Chain A
């Protein structure tokens, strides 16, 4: 158990360390001090005390807030990957999910929170799931590649949503592409509200909300689904060896559609964090490429729900820390974070490189 855990963690850790080293070279090249930059990065992402030495929720609060959408997109990509599919469409799926959530909150304003909130969540999942299912069906029915189709679906989503917002859901005079505010009953509670009964004062300004708890729940559910249910087993079988799965009586086509639909539904949940928990409206093109970062999160988390959770928190921390690096360093801007992410993905994808090197040193890594 511990041995497998160690083996699973080794490559991601090597990739992260290698990315930080290479990132350090980049920082040196643009004439800043890597140790100082990384110090700011880590402290502003994970530090428990502010500059005056007082305890603060800010750093962890924001890190987890930024991690929340990445947990969803990471799980989304990971689930599809377990079925042998690369879902590059989480980006589009999360937008339609967000819009659907906002639409429910704008339309059924008379409903009480106990109905409105679940309905909004359901709408986000159905919309995202539909957007994911389309490339799944196209792949199952016509064999067309899901990578191209999901990319196309991303652009179609953005185009259609831009139309809907511009012509039907915003004040014509308003230049900002956003809908009106959703009904107050549709809002998700922030940690400020959740922790108040326990006598803990969590600052209201930190937008960390119940979506984070939902993300952890989904993490657990995905794990149960994939490893403890028949459906999950069939999806993994179809991904691991389609021919063998077919031979064993599993319809690979059905698994492809199911996996893509579920993947899309989970990506759609990003909308819950964004709309119900944070902005209380749909703001067009809000994402900081959560869908694409989700690919990195899934890879780094080795397509395992708990790995995804850890990887999402790391990437959330990078986002949070990047903002501070931007302010407190001479030359480095927050764009360093994207560079680090890209290098991490490249290194994780080039696992072969490390495996070959390690094989000579430690024989255990040769297998698999």
Chain B
């Protein structure tokens, strides 16, 4: 029985389930490292998931769908940016508003376009974003089960490395961190705090929307009402659990993806209620945030609007 749960396909499903989390959490990382809290990841993911499904339906091309989703994500993030950076709205409140907004908007538009209460039409399989066939499943089933993954799975892993490089090795990353830690000093050094924060927030929109698009046209073939089901919040948890560090965040996402994969497999086989496994990420986040395992330090200026003196 245990062999049914722990086998090589578990690695594959862990990767698959962690991908939307990784993408959204990386988005959150850019945003929060610049000093802006992003509770809106969930709403942006929904916007991305919906836009990807909608545009793919009309263009029959998932890549155009992805592009549209990223654009939508950036636009939604721009609302957050304008509200919090220009008008100094409370960052948590603005994020909450965006989350509520995108419970409503996709459903409203689904009613207009398709006459449904919140889902888009089913896409034919060839129009969704399908797995790359790196290995032939007949010849090498094991390798195929692990490596034949969605392009976005590979992109997410690549993006982690890229983000690591950008945050720690590039001038852009240094400036982003400076603005998030000590905006006054950054400002004095001639860095435009607002411009860096805009960059962070808009990047978060692009990444989170990509995570949403993966859920609607990668893992599934349509958008359904509230289909991200809290993954934006799990991504936020992973970001904290990973201490706002790209690699740590990825490990946290993989851990949470692993927990989800186990929970799915255990349904009906093992006698541990899977609710207990589902709440593991949340409990861990609280524990880590309280410093029971090791302390997580958020960027110092996180959540504080910057006013130029």
Q: Is the CB of B282 within 8 A of A156?
A: yes
Q: Is the CB of B92 within 8 A of A142?
A: no
Q: Is the CB of B275 within 8 A of A149?
A: no
Q: Is A8 an interface residue (CB 8 A)?
A: no
Q: Is the CB of B83 within 8 A of A144?
A: no
Interface size for A (C-beta < 8 A) is: 47
Q: Is the CB of A346 within 8 A of B105?
A: no
Q: Which residue from chain A places its CB closest to the CB of B296 in the assembled complex? A: A144
Chain B interface size range: 35 or more
Q: Which of A151, A299, A337 has the most CB of B within 10 A?
A: A151
Q: Is A119 an interface residue (CB 8 A)?
A: no
Q: Is the CB of A138 within 8 A of B290?
A: yes
| Chain B residues whose CB sits within 8 angstroms of the CB of A167 once the complex forms | 273
Q: Mark B82-109, 1 if CB is under 8 A from A, else 0.
A: 0100011110111011111101110111
Min C-beta distance of B117 to chain A, whole Å = 7
Partner of A352, one of B87, B118, B286: B87
| Chain B residues whose CB sits within 8 angstroms of the CB of A142 once the complex forms | 289-291
- State in angstroms the CA–CA spacing of A138 and B103 once bound together: 30
Q: Is the CB of B100 within 8 A of A289?
A: yes
Q: Is the CB of A30 within 8 A of B112?
A: yes
Q: Is the CB of B103 within 8 A of A289?
A: yes
Segment of A42-50, A60-68, A157-165, A189-197 engaged in the interface with chain B: A157-165
Partner of A148, one of B97, B104, B240: B240
Q: Is A145 an interface residue (CB 8 A)?
A: yes
Contact (A335, B93) CB under 8 Å given A142-B291, A151-B233, A342-B98: no
Partner of A149, one of B93, B101, B105, B289: B289
Q: Mark A312-332, 1 if CB is under 8 A from B, else 0.
A: 000000000000000000011
Partner of A346, one of B89, B237, B240: B89
Partner of A349, one of B37, B89, B100, B283: B89
Q: Is the CB of A350 within 8 A of B92?
A: no
Q: Is B142 an interface residue (CB 8 A)?
A: no
Q: Is A338 an interface residue (CB 8 A)?
A: yes
Q: Which residue from chain B places its CB closest to the CB of A152 in the assembled complex? A: B282
Q: Which residue from chain B places its CB closest to the CB of A142 in the assembled complex? A: B290
The 4 closest A-B pairs by CB, nearest first: A338-B104, A342-B101, A349-B89, A159-B279
- 25 A-B pairs in the complex with CB atoms less than 8 angstroms apart: A86-B92, A86-B93, A88-B39, A138-B289, A147-B37, A148-B289, A151-B237, A152-B285, A152-B286, A156-B282, A160-B279, A162-B275, A167-B273, A289-B103, A292-B99, A296-B97, A331-B111, A333-B107, A335-B108, A339-B104, A345-B97, A346-B101, A349-B87, A352-B88, A352-B89
